[in-house]
Structure formats: structure tokens, C-alpha cells
Structure 1
Amino acid sequence: MRIPFFRTSIPACACLLALAAPATAGTFGGNATLTTDYVWRGTTQTQGDPAIQAGFKATSGNGLYGSAWGSGVEFAPGTHASSEFDVVVGWAGNLADDWALDVNLTHYRYPGTTVDLNWTEFNGTATWKQNYWAQIGWSNDALASGHHGTYAQLGARLPLDAQWRLEGAVGHYWLDDAYGDSYAHAQLGAVWAFKAPFELRVTAHATDDSARRLFADLAGSRVEAALQASF
């Protein structure tokens, strides 16, 4: 389960592209990633195994955008979950010289499962000087539980030179209504943009004891490395 793109049906994607088409300043891009572990909000979504991920994004000149993103996943065997597709519809733009806002609706979808794992979340992210951000996410069906959940994150990136930067974030997930508990996590990573359009990222993740109680071996401390290409 992930934040970062959306999943949707072909008709929904067509609607998004139709919105973006009239704007001459619209853009289209995407990315592909090979990662040693798919970690989302501090917990592994692949039981610590590698994953291949890819996504695309269409943006109109007025800030409206739509994106689709997919990844392999590995949940409990009884769910038969092997893939995740995220579909996002949103708006992003500048509020002032140093401030930007992104608001979106993200739908997480897991096709072919024996239980309904699909759910939707509203997200908002404020960014300052392109390097510091505060995010809030809310759903009345958090993690497909049928109950409310709220997620918050503070993050920062520190460019070191033209090729290197550090990135860190701390997050808290309030799941008391769904699971009777909440948890916190943190991450710190280094990114090497060694040759456009490629980047190599190494990130260390850690969670608190509450995450271990909620998700057992899926939480805790782990390190993941990822090679990403953007276009």
C-alpha cells in the first residue's frame, strides 16, 4: 500500500487525459524503479523482497493532474495479492514564491485478491522552497479496514551538490479507530543522480514498537536500495 500515484480504470484515465488535453502547457512524464524492498510508511509491502515499479503522470497547464503507478506486492498468502495499482487525481500549484500545495485523491487497488483490499485516501501536501514538506492523509476506510485513519508526515531534502542529496522524513499513522493503536516511523536516505535520467537511492527505515505490534515482521528496521529512471 503506497502514497507517492493512483490506480484507476481505463475510462478514468481517459477522463484525466481529456482534462489535460486542452491546456497547451500540459506535460507528460513517468518513471520506472527497481527496488530491493517496497517500503510504505515504514512497513514492507513485499516481505522484504525486491519489486519492479512503474508509473506515469499527465499534468495540465492549470495544475490538474492524473497519474497511475504500479508495483509488485507480497501480502499474506491467503489474500493472493501480487500487484498494486495506485490511481491519483489532484491539483498542484504555487501559493506564493516559496510555497506550493498538492491536494489529491488516491485510490489503492489490488486486483485478483480473495478479499477486498481496495481503499481510497484524501491527501494534501504543503511544500516550502521545494525542499521541506508537510503532508496529511485521511481515509474513512484506512487500509481497507472500514474505519477511519489519519497519516501525517514531515520531511526535508538537503542538496549537497549537483549529484548528491540527503532526504529524511518522520511520520505518524493514527489507526486507533481501525486497529486500536497508532505508530510512528522515520526514514533517512541518500540519493545519487549519477547520470540523467538515472538515480540511485539508499534509504534506512525504522518504526516504533507499536508498528511491530500491528504488523509484526513487516515493521521494524530495514534498508532498501532503489535504481530509478525518470522520463
Structure 2
Amino acid sequence: MKPTHIGTALAVGTLVMSAGAFQAAMAEDPHSISANIGVVSNYIWRGQTQTDNQPAVQGGLDYAHQSGFYAGTWLSNVDFGEGNETNYELDLYTGFGGSINDDFSYDLNLIYYAYPDGRDSDFSELGASATYKWLTAGIAYTFYGQADDAPGVANTEANYIQGDLYYHAALDFDLPYELGLNLHGGYYDFRYNDGGNDYGHWGASISREAGDFGTFSFNYDQIGRDTYDEDPKLWIGWNKEF
């Protein structure tokens, strides 16, 4: 799932989906299927709102194998502002994750972000990340994108762009009272517009599992470039896996 920045939330679409799917694969049954549902007061992805600062309902379905292979899909409503008729996002993903020892693990993934009722907005990424104890760092490479109307995009034969890079890192800590703290940041390096659209962002999340009631989080995110919305984003989230 792209955000689970309750998790995408603490993600951190990092793709918490990959971590969750890999953990599920560690069950005794070599095959496992899980589902998740969530509600957020603001769908934030890589520092930017995907719902025009409005709430979102999200959910997904995951398959995982004990070998580390996983695949799944994730859905959320979106709102990109006036003049854009896109109403929802559908992500399809697959990957492989594993661990070398108790302290070091890795994940490789392929994600397709689809906006079926939008115009030329779909894109695909290849991603890789590694986790050492409480530190996770990774990179995502856009190898396919439909961006006909993006400012500064060259009018290529197929009107596609590729080559964007997204770097991200996160720190995860256990706090007293069964709380979790996530500190995260990232930098988006776009291939087009001579760096005019590049930006960095950072944020923090505090979460707590509540048993059968799921996981609740309180989150802060902010972008560090004045060509975007620099206002701090404070939002809450809830997520439950089945």
C-alpha cells in the first residue's frame, strides 16, 4: 500500500506493505493472505497531501510466501484539487524481502500506481531498501510515467517521462507505554524541469497498537521548499489488519 504512511503512515508507501507482507510470510503456513483497512484525516505521501487536506478511506489485500515473495493491491480515494477529476488511486505491487541476520533485512519491490479515472497520471517504480536495527534507508526509481501535462516535461514521442529518483530514510524506536516513534525524511529528484520541482520533506509519527482495535497514529509532515505547500501537516490515522 502506498502510504500506509499510517505505517506510508509510518512509511512510509516506505512501503509498509512490503514489511507487513514479509512478516506475514514468516507464519508456519508457507502461504498467507491478509487484508487491511484504514482511515486517515489527511492522505500524505512523500510530504504532499493526496486528498487536498481531506480524509481518506484506504484498504488493501496482500499475499505472502515464506520464501519472502509477496504481492498485493491497495486502494484509496484521492483529490488533487480543482480541475482534476481523479477520484481514486489503485496500487499494484510485488516484491521480495528477507533478512541476513537478526539486525539486517532488505526489500526489493515493483509498484504500479494507477489512477483509472484520471488522465495520464499512472507511473511505475522499482524500489530497494535495507534495514539495520532501527534505521531503514532506500531508493525508488521511476521507470515509467504518464505526465503529459506536468510543467517542464519534454514533449517526447510517447509523452512519457522516466528517471525520477526518490531517496528516503526512517528511524523507528520503541517508547514507554507501548508507543512507537517513527522519524522519516526523503528527497525527490525529478528528471524534468532542471531541478525546479525537486524537494525534500521530513516528518514524525507516534503510534500505538490497541489489540483488536487496530493501530492509531498521530503524524506530522512538512515540505522544505516554498514552491510547494510548506504548511505543517498534522493528521491522525487508524489501520487494522485481518
Q: Is the pair's TM-score, using the shorter chain for normalization, greater than 0.5? A: yes
Of the candidates 130, 133, 136, which is equivalent to residue 133 of structure 1?
136
Give the secondary-structure state (helix, strand or coil) at the position aligned to 1:196. helix
Aligned to 1:192: 208
- The reply on whether 1:203 has 2:207 as its aligned counterpart is no
5+ residue gaps, structure 2:
4-12, 18-24, 151-160
Q: CA deviation at 1:75?
A: 1.2
Asked whether the equivalents of residues 5 and 88 of structure 1 are also in contact (C-alpha less than 8 Å), the reply is no
Q: CA deviation at 1:72?
A: 0.4
Q: CA deviation at 1:77?
A: 3.6
Instruction: State how 1:38-187 maps to structure 2 within 5 Å.
Output: 38-113=43-118, 115-129=119-133, 131-141=134-144, 144=147, 146-161=161-176, 163-175=178-190, 177-181=191-195, 182-187=198-203
- Distance in 2, Cα, partners of 1:162 & 1:29: 27
Asked whether the equivalents of residues 121 and 145 of structure 2 are also in contact (C-alpha less than 8 Å), the reply is no
What is the one-letter code of the residue matched to 1:42? G
Q: CA deviation at 1:162?
A: 6.0
Asked whether the equivalents of residues 193 and 199 of structure 1 are also in contact (C-alpha less than 8 Å), the reply is yes
Q: Return closer, same or farther for 1:38/1:157 CA change in 2, 3 Å cut-off.
A: same
Q: CA deviation at 1:166?
A: 0.7
5+ residue gaps, structure 1:
7-19
TM-score (norm 1): 0.82
- Distance in 2, Cα, partners of 1:38 & 1:169: 16
- Distance in 2, Cα, partners of 1:90 & 1:136: 14
Give the secondary-structure state (helix, strand or coil) at the position aligned to 1:48. coil
Aligned to 1:35: 40
Give the secondary-structure state (helix, strand or coil) at the position aligned to 2:131. strand
TM-score (norm 2): 0.79
- Distance in 1, Cα, partners of 2:32 & 2:178: 24
Asked whether the equivalents of residues 91 and 103 of structure 1 are also in contact (C-alpha less than 8 Å), the reply is yes
Structure (1 or 2) with the greater helix fraction: 1
Aligned to 1:225: 236
Q: Give the fraction of aligned pairs with identical amino acids, expressed as a percent.
A: 24
Q: Return closer, same or farther for 1:223/1:74 CA change in 2, 3 Å cut-off.
A: same
- Distance in 1, Cα, partners of 2:95 & 2:162: 23
Asked whether the equivalents of residues 120 and 146 of structure 2 are also in contact (C-alpha less than 8 Å), the reply is no
Q: Which runs of 4+ in 1 moved over 2 A?
A: 1-6, 76-79, 140-145, 178-181, 194-197
Q: Which moved more, 1:33-42 or 1:77-86?
A: 77-86
Give the secondary-structure state (helix, strand or coil) at the position aligned to 2:83. helix
Task: Count matched residues.
Answer: 208
- Distance in 2, Cα, partners of 1:30 & 1:110: 21
- Distance in 2, Cα, partners of 1:183 & 1:143: 20
